Amino acid sequence: MKGILLTCLIGVIAGAIDVLPMIKMKLDRFSIVSAFVFYFILPFIILNTELFGMPWWLKGGVIGFALALPVIIIVAGQDKNSVPPMVVMSAVLGTLIGIAGHYIIL
């Protein structure tokens, strides 16, 4: 039970980190909720997946980027300026989630 609550906390913090700039830029609420839900669920996937013996510190960034890639492709068709921040945030927050999970939960 403690692990689930800590995983939720990591997800809420990661979601807030991604969503706060979106709120400041006054993006639509569907984009904001979508990003928050993505980063809320991402720790559950990162912390419960084993990738071919990949190091724990690399696994989060790879999974975060891989799962964000379909959304990044969709957004690229409408707004090319949003792609670099999305790529960076998915990789960086994924890595931070993996690090937090390694040191706090596992």
- pLDDT tens, per residue, the chain with 106 residues: 678 999 999 999 999 999 999 999 998 999 999 999 999 999 999 999 988 888 988 999 999 999 999 999 999 999 899 899 999 999 999 999 999 999 998 6
Which pTM does this prediction carry? 0.89
Residue by residue, DSSP assigns 9-67 as HHHHHHHHHHHHHHHHTT--HHHHHHHHHHHHHHHHHHHT---TT--HHHHHHHHHHHH
Measured distance CA(70)–CA(26) in Å, rounded: 23
Count of structural domains within the chain: 1
Name the residue range of residue 38's domain: 2-105
